[in-house]
Chains A and B, each alone.
Chain A
Amino acid sequence: MSRPRPEPVQVVKQRRDAALTALAHSIPYCEFLGIQFERRGDELTGIMTFQESNIGNPMLPALHGGATAAFLEIASLIGLSWSTLWEDMESGVLSLDELEQGHLPRLPKTIDFTVDYLRSGLPRDAYARARVNRSGRRYASVHVEAWQDRRDKLFAQATGHFLMPAPMGS
């Protein structure tokens, strides 16, 4: 029994990071809100860097519910897209060149999104991780959690349903 020799680490990283960068850049609203993504293997964490323009209650102060909702929705979309992209990227259906040129599958479309506001968002960085609970050919269900200082103390969570794009090349 033999297995193919694993690819060099930098090749793997370059391809995965190029895919993530291209994905985040396909959503201009990320930059407006100060959202970025970090990757550990296939696990993604969304980070919404604090900025004054995301404040909704200047008296407390607290993050705007709309900024929180948008952060959760974008984290869900990127997480969902990433999970489908991963297969195509690792199997070589998508080449590094294509990824670097931003040739990505179409983004899923949000059908509905329900946000549960657990406590007010503090004026500091926020983090989010999405979990794809079901991803079918046409529809997907995603749950996402957001926290600030402590991972187990969520300030918001959400569930959304998404319409999946047609597979690439169809």
Chain B
Amino acid sequence: MSKEQLKQAQQFIEAIPHAKALGMEITEISDGIAQLEMDYDARFVGDSETGVISGGAVSALMDTCCGAAVMSHPDVAGATATIDLRIDYMRGATPGERVIARAEVYHLTRTVAFVRAKSYDNDRANPVATATGAFTAEKKA
């Protein structure tokens, strides 16, 4: 993965208004794998009692990360859309810490990309959430 590729990918992410609003940063992109990160922000909190980030904000990060993984796949042509996404929440992300999502396309058919993702904060041994989803894809002829 070259610096140039990463810069292009970051420009792509920033062209998505919702990803830009959440301050998403792409830190890895290659052949069906993507890593996206998001800083803690008081506006993203889902429970003011605890200060834990909303599950919805983590979903947005994982959804974008899965989409980026699909588009980075060498056999996929053009854009993608989410068909279905299931998120399992293992624990609340620690308030103040950056959330990192990593997604991989584990299977590609002519029309569908099957994707898995995991999210972490500083504690890399305990994921915050995992996701599995199906995304629309057009396989290159």
B1 at the interface (CB under 8 A from A): no
Nearest chain-A residue to B85 (Cβ)?
A115
| Cβ distance A63 to chain B, nearest Cβ, rounded Å | 8
* B16 contacts the other chain (CB 8 A): yes
The answer, yes or no, to whether A116 is at the interface (CB within 8 Å) is: yes
Cα–Cα, bound, A120→B61 (Å) = 18
Interface residues of B in 5-53 (CB under 8 A from A): 15-22, 42-49
Instruction: Tell yes or no: B64 within 8 A of A by CB.
Output: yes
Select the residue from A54, A111, A117 with max chain B CB neighbours within 10 A.
Answer: A117
B77 at the interface (CB under 8 A from A): no
Given contacts A69-B56, A113-B86, contact A26 B79 (CB under 8 A): no
Asked if residues B49 and A70 are in contact (CB atoms below 8 Å), the reply is no
Q: Which of A52, A59, A69 has the most CB of B within 10 A?
A: A69
Q: Does A73 sit at the interface, judged by CB under 8 A?
A: yes
Q: A74–B46 Cα gap in the complex (Å)?
A: 9
Contacting pair B17 A109 (CB below 8 A): no
Which of A26, A31, A32, A120 has the most B CB atoms < 10 Å from its CB?
A: A32
Cα distance A43–B44 when bound, in Å? 26
Supply 9 A–B pairs (Cβ within 8 Å), ascending by A. Answer: A27-B46, A28-B43, A29-B56, A64-B64, A66-B18, A66-B59, A107-B47, A113-B87, A114-B86
- Chain A contacts to B: CB under 8 angstroms: 25-29, 31-33, 52-59, 63-67, 69-71, 73-74, 106-107, 109-117, 120
Known contacts A70-B54, A117-B82, then 17 further A-B pairs from the complex at CB < 8 Å, ordered by chain A residue:
A27-B47, A28-B46, A29-B57, A32-B44, A53-B20, A54-B17, A54-B18, A54-B21, A55-B18, A63-B18, A64-B19, A65-B82, A66-B56, A66-B63, A113-B86, A114-B84, A115-B59
